[in-house]
Amino acid sequence: MFLDGMDVAWEKTPFLTNRLLIRSEEQISKLKNAGISYVFIDPDRSRVIEDKTNVSQELDKIKFIKKEEILDVEGHVEMDEAVLFKKGSDQNEFDGLPYTKEDLDKFFSEFHNYTHIDKTTLVVGTYVTFPLYVKRDLQIIQLFVLKNKDIPITEEILAIENDFFIHINDKIKYKGYLTELMSLKSSNGSSELIRNRVVKENSKLLMEELLADPRSGAKLKECQQNIDAIVSSMQENNSLTNGLFTINKSDYYTYTHCVNVSVLAVGLAINLGMNKQTEIFALAMGGMLHDIGKCKIPHSILNKPTKLTDDEFRVMKSHVLIGKKLLSFHSDISKETIYSLTEHHEKMTGKGYPHGLAAENLHFAGKVVAMADVYDALTTARPYKKAFGSFEALSIIRSQLEDYDMEIFLSFVKMLGN
């Protein structure tokens, strides 16, 4: 049952909110012991919860890869750092890694001059009026030199495997190109695919700009408009493969990660039966903004290719509360959106951060975004390590499922399988 209010102020109860999903007899006992006589239940937000025994049995039927076949580490691993190396990789401090610390520092100091673009937004037969760049190792290389003429997009250009970039000075031209794509007509049904890719790409660019200026109300409003378009498309198609989800992620970009987490979270929530437009929108916004606090984390920590020291990890963990503070400057951000940000690193076991909340105190949105966040982080490469495959990532999560909601995980596996 979804509890939507009580006859006493929530501050006098053992719960963090007076609006939560009641899932257990233990929660009901807490309500009674708190002296609560009346509660209000929202039947539209209540849902049938699968028996945990049945969920566990269904998961046991799936032959996940054993964690020790994927990772060299034994026991519980700290996935929040996202520095997990595949079995056989050298994890010693820069030993065996393709780059030195100095190489990485130099790369990231120059990297902010470029913006990653999804090359699937480039359409054969169209023309671009700006240079294209690719990343090879730790170098950004210009593909063509413009000589006062446009560059035609060809199959040969799109066959290049490296990540594509534009210079930040050309973002306005790229946005103009994306606008032109929206007017393309197609007889083979690809118009909708192109439109969704443009919506996603605009969301990514806006998220990059919001990370650079997190107090900008104008950028946030634009972001909200794009999220409306994403949610509408996903509700109509109920699919992640319609141009909204970046699958082959050769490298990590916070803005791309934020869009992916939002798309994954919305898809998962829809699969779990969420149907109220306001709730889905709040979840989508939460997924998009969940890592906004990382804009204040030093690059030396954010991009460190080895295990963080205890002090560095404390700094990294601060991105959650930093993000909450940044969003406090925006009065139109809902409480439901904040849950996604503040709880995406919490664990069902109570061993997460920043507040160490356990299962009964976690919001549905927080648990959904936590699943989307860890999956996208595991399946994304870094300059110093390869990405895990989709099933490898799911197998790693399965091996530590006590940290995550079992029902949400099963739905996530089914959604990706479809």
Answer yes or no: is 100 within a domain: yes
Same domain, 37 and 71: no
Answer yes or no: is 354 within a domain: yes
> Which range has the worst mean pLDDT, 11-20, 61-70, 375-384, 389-398?
11-20
Answer yes or no: is 131 within a domain: no
Same domain, 100 and 21: no
Answer yes or no: is 148 within a domain: no
The Cα–Cα gap between 132 and 126 comes to 14
Same domain, 6 and 98: no
Spatial CB neighbours of 48, under 8 Å, sequence gap ≥ 6: none
Answer yes or no: is 132 within a domain: no
Same domain, 210 and 287: yes
The pLDDT assigned to 70 comes to 92
Task: State the pLDDT confidence band at 189, using cuts at 50, 70 and 90.
Answer: low
Same domain, 40 and 80: no
Question: Hey, which residues does 114 pair with through a beta bridge?
Answer: 167
Same domain, 291 and 350: yes
Same domain, 293 and 214: yes
Q: Where are the beta strands (DSSP E) in 267-366?
A: none
Q: Which two tokens stand for residue 153?
A: 């997009």
Q: Which two tokens stand for residue 245?
A: 């989800």
Q: What length does the chain have?
A: 418
Same domain, 337 and 373: yes
Answer yes or no: is 130 within a domain: no
Number of structural domains (the chain) is: 2
Task: State the pLDDT confidence band at 90, using cuts at 50, 70 and 90.
Answer: low
333, pLDDT greater than 70: yes
Averaged pLDDT of the chain: 86
398, pLDDT greater than 90: yes
> Which range has the worst mean pLDDT, 75-84, 290-299, 324-333?
75-84
The pLDDT assigned to 412 comes to 95
Whole domain around residue 340: which residue ranges? 67-104+192-417
The 3-state secondary structure of 315-338 reads HHHCHHHHHHHHHCCCCCCCHHHH
Over range 146-164, report the average pLDDT. Answer: 87
* CATH number of the domain residue 233 falls in: 1.10.3210.10
204, pLDDT greater than 60: yes
Same domain, 362 and 333: yes
Answer yes or no: is 197 within a domain: yes
- HSE at residue 131, side-chain half, CA atoms within 13 A, is 15
Answer yes or no: is 143 within a domain: no
